[in-house]
Structure 1
Amino acid sequence: MSTLLMMHRLLMALVFLVFTLLFTWQVVNITRDLTLQRLHQQGSDELLKVITELRSALGQYRYLPFLISQNVSVKELLAFSKSEKSAEVSLYLEQTNLVAGSSSLFLLNTEGRALAYSHWRDEDDFFQRSHNDQAYFQQAQSGHRGRQFSLNVATKRPAYFLSSPIYDGTRFIGAAVVRIELQNLVKKLRSVETVLIADNNGTLFFSTGSFQRFENLQAQARVSSHDLSNGVTTALWEKDNHHWLARSVSLDDLAWEVTVLNDTDVVNKNVRNATLFSFGGCIAFGLLMLLFRERQLKLRSQNETRQALARNEAQQKAIINHAQVGLLLIDSQGLIRFANKMALQQFAVLMKLILNRPIAELVVAEGDPLVNRLLTNLDWDAFSPLIGYESVGVRGDGTEFPLMISVRKMLPEISPTLKELALEKDESRQFLVTVIDISRRKGLEMELKRANNSLETKVEERTKALSEAQNELIQAGKMAALGRMSTAVVHELNQPLTAIRNYVAICKQLLNKPEMLTENLTEIDLLTQHMAQITSQLKTYAYKKPEDKQPVSIQMVIEHSLLLFKKRIADEQVELTTRLPEKVLYVLGDNARLEQVMVNLINNGLDAMRAQSPRQLSIEVVCKEKVLITISDSGTGIAEELLDSLFDPFVTSKKIGDGLGLGLAIVKSIIRDLEGDIVVGQSQLGGASFTVILPLFSEEH
């Protein structure tokens, strides 16, 4: 039986192959014929175009002989044989030839000898030749406009001659002749195909292809004819494995035969494409029919395996029933179709009470969107498995317990054909739900969580206490520093107080002299301002950092700070240079404290340059992930022994009475509160350089 079936299949394949070959052969013949017809028409159109261009190119020179015949000097030279006119007319012909673009122009007398020639400078022997045997002279002598094609194989310079008779009244006195070299003429052809021009004897004198000129054209190619379905007979040429379709025409008036060759590669290409498409189409049709037949066989096989599928499902249920975890089978509507013993124990229900009930009644899913969406939308094709998800189950008595649920597709471990059949049966598209009671584990997790929460609370309280203690230590350190500098403050305040008492005593004596009294009161006011400045520095140093920070513009802070020193900079003739970026830069802080930093640094720079000349102060702002503000001066710089303690309170390089040494300490404290840093170094201007580094505030922050 199997042998007969195999022979039947081979016979059908052989018949189909024969049909495919016949069909492909017919399509190829039709494609070749249609392509040759189109190529034949293209060749005819191209040939007409080439002939039109040739005649148009020759027509550009037809007026020249008649134009020359009307020249007065030309007639005088021929009529009266004035030899002095020969050079004049030759010069005229030379100029006319250059303008017209012809090859040469010359005049012949009644005996056919040249009296004037456009190339008289190069060819003296031309005047010795006789032209009375040439057709163009004989035609002009007969009173006609002459034309003649000349093919000199030896010189390989084919030419075309045009002539016109010249009369003195009614007497023939000579002829004007124009010579046109065809090599220059045919260069004007714009054909994209191969163009061949031969004389009546078949000698080729012009070619745009691989054919040899000045040899017989027919001997260079093998010519065959081919009949098309539309009744046209075409000429096919072959040369050196190249094939063309030829279109030729004879021009009797020019004694030429013009041929246009169209490459037949497009025919081969179309034939090749037709072969591929027709043969491939037949093969595709055959495969489609084979697929249809296999589909029918597949359906028959599926019907035979339905009983095997039912037995397999029974075996799966038996395996599920003996598993050590809760297992349930549900359909695509979420209805319970089967539950094993462990699942019945976990949910404390009987089998008959949960069959065909929604599984959502056993799992609390109202507050669990993921489980609720999964259990109410069991689309087989778009289903995504749920693995190890924690939820809450409901027992038969209404009590709840924590569980871990997993949902997967239920596919039988059978042959691929049987598996496909199971998927096609709606009743076989079931899902396996795995349920694990995690009540004990959850209890342990709650105990651990309570212990962690208690530990975290204690850690937070301890951290907060340490932070408060650290802040108190910092503030205490500041107050201790204030205590240590009490002696210096008393010294600083005693001097102006003593001076004030003296000025007050003097004022009492000068109550009757107002002009002197005003001067003393002014001095008292200056002393009180100096004392206020000392106390304000102490208050600023002891001041706690603000809790609330706002974005502050660096450019605005620098501009406001410089306004305070505008008059001093002008009076002391300080050269100020500022380099600020165009984009506004922001940092977190407060305007007053940042301006205090800038004022202190600018004031120190100006103080350092009092005895220097020239005085130069530079302020530059650069943004490189952080904001860098550099203030440089051309002062005396900072002594090396002061660099390590420069930012400590009451450390100063100024004279006693000029400052408390709190300026840089305040600057350091403010910058530290703003989470920044300050670096001191040598300035390129010769003095000191202070660089303030602050975090950049951006819109993302």
Structure 2
Amino acid sequence: MASLSDSHPGLPRLDRRRLLFAAIAGALILLVAALGLSRWAAGHARTQADADARQNARAHASLLESELQKFRLLPRVLTEFPDVRLALADKSAAASRRLDRELEQLAERTDAAVIYVIGADGTTIAASNWQAPTSFVGQNYRFRPYFRGAMQRGEAELFALGTVSGRPGLFLARRVAAGGRALGVIVVKVEFDKLEAKWTDSPATTLVTDDAGIVIMTSEPGWRFRSFGPISPATQQRLRGTRSYGDAPLAPLSTRQADGDVRIVEGASATLYRQAAQRVSLPGSRLHVLQPAQPARDGANATARVLFLILLILVGAAILALLRLVERQALRHAAHVALEREVAARTQELRGANAELQQAAERQAETDRRYRAAREELAQASRLGSIGQITAGVAHEINQPLAAIRTFAENSLRYLERAQPDKARGNLDHIVDLTARVGAITNELRNFARRKPTPLGPVALQSAIEGTNLLIGDRLRAQGIALDIAIDDQGLSVHADRVRLEQVLVNLLQNAADALQGRDASRIALRVHGRNPVFIDICDDGPGIAADLLPQLFTPFVTGRPDGLGLGLAIASDIMGEFGGTLSLIPSPLGGAGFRLTLRPA
């Protein structure tokens, strides 16, 4: 009788080959996975860095455009300013000195670096810095391109280094004319130190280049007035002739660019960036954001290493399981062959013992089957796992009720001087609440990139008026002004945005309080009535509004106060327009001024 060993002599060698093939296959899988994960990590890092760079570029460009739009309106308004025309036409020292003081006050209010007026011959006749050692008065700027451009084309812009102050800034120039004759130029110089400081909060490096590739604004001070690439001798000669950048060497940055990567070498070190560019409204200028590539690479490589480690564990576990299976099959095969040989050598009398051994083998097979089933269930349970990634991005800017915070802080100082710490503590609690509100409002300013407003929706008028009273109530009480609030329907809601609605109410109440300054037993009435539309009337018993201001009451820079800027009612009117409502002047039943807000019900 032929034995089982004789009929299957190559089975153990076949199992060893299968194990060897499995090990080679596992090694190949790991090699391919390592190469694939390496390429994935590199691509993912570039994609992530590019996305961060584009987001930062949009946000930083939005901040820059906001600053530019704020100041570009100023020269246009000042060309119509009577004292500017008078000083240029009269050319008297008295008119120029009076204009000096007016420009000085306007520069302080608007945060402009310098505002100055240049005569037709290029000589500065009045400036906001007339008292400073670096005064522009008497300086001749006929050589400046912004002066020549404004005189020829009506307006011009130039980013340059100040020849007197030595500080860089944007010069916004506009021609002043009368009767078709050019009288001179009004110039507003804007410096961007605060904006560049905000840019430094980002891990990326932000810079703005002009049409020649010169870095004019940057969050890296050492790069200012260096070229972002090689510039021709002719361009250098042209820039020297205009003295736009003084004696700056205009040396190029040591950069190498390839496939979207920008490598900047400084000394013995080199930093790799991903670049995003955004056009800005400065003539010929672009905003560049250089996002460091290394943090994104480190993150992607860490993820790739984790994935490779998981795959390594799975492949190792599979090979180990196969090894154990091969070992069990080899042992089972060897035992089976030995048993067959022993049975063949025994006599017929040992058949009973052989039958018992056969039953034992069957029981062993059943035990082995149950073991395999239990092992499969355990393997199924071990495959239950998940890996999550959470990403979040944050870019921010706030400009909210700082006047109320300052008022509470000043009152707190007075209470502390009067040894009234409880009242001071109350004011500090209000400041904490207002700071929390500022934090909530930053969610609306976020996205400079972004930066869309909070969607309009239902706003409870009762709650909005209470919030307004929180901001302005202390001032009214300090002036002895009685605020009468009457709401016909306490549960009324309107279609608006609460923060901006409170801004309108605070502005109107502040205007009323200013008008009632120095008057005794004054009153302000706030009444909510109507349902569709909803009306909010704010009236006072003050002197009212001068008749000559009525035709242009909601026009920017029109004000009846000597220290006023004339923007409050214009902004309030614009906000009401965004709500789909209106802001209008009405007769006051108290004898003073009256305003009506018309809103849609929610």
TM-score range, shorter chain: 0.3 to 0.5
Length-normalised TM-score, structure 2:
0.45
Structure possessing the higher radius of gyration over alpha carbons? 1
TM-score by length of 1: 0.39
